[in-house]
Amino acid sequence: LAKTTQPISMDSYEGQEVNITCSHNNIATNDYITWYQQFPSQGPRFIIQGYKTKVTNEVASLFIPADRKSSTLSLPRVSLSDTAVYYCLVVNSGNTPLVFGKGTRLSVIA
């Protein structure tokens, strides 16, 4: 599976938009880009997945350029409760074990 690279940490003030970029230069044709969120003392939680262009749900937006070698998770108007670790993963279709990196630790400041 393609390896991903993302910033180790980010800080943001409440109410701001946060963009976390992930690079996955070796992504394969049948791979999808997936983001998970993990709060302290909890297991990760799926937040969004995409293949190309833009995907939006009630939590976030995911922007994927045409070459798919990177992606950007966008969190609109973050609040203190968005403080968490965000993992970018590249996954195949089907049920296979997920490969997690160290993620991006987002700290939201009042």
Partner 1 sequence: GAGVSQSPSNKVTEKGKDVELRCDPISGHTALYWYRQSLGQGLEFLIYFQGNSAPDKSGLPSDRFSAERTGGSVSTLTIQRTQQEDSAVYLCASSLVQLLRNEQYFGPGTRLTVT
Phi, psi of 65 (to 5 degrees): -70, 170
**Residue 79: helix, strand or coil by DSSP?**
coil
Closest separation between CB of residue 77 and partner 1, Å? 25
Q: Which is nearer to partner 1, 21 or 49 (CB)?
A: 49
Q: Is 3 in the site for partner 1 (CB under 8 A)?
A: no
Q: Is 91 in the site for partner 1 (CB under 8 A)?
A: yes
Helices (H) and strands (E) in the chain, counts: 0, 9
CA dihedral 69, 46, 38, 68 (to 10 degrees): 0
Count interface residues toward partner 1 (CB under 8 A): 23
Q: Looking only at residues 34 through 53 of this chain, which bind partner 1 when binding is defined by CB under 8 A?
A: 34, 41-46, 49
Q: What is the binding site for partner 1 (CB under 8 A)?
A: 32, 34, 41-46, 49, 87, 91-103
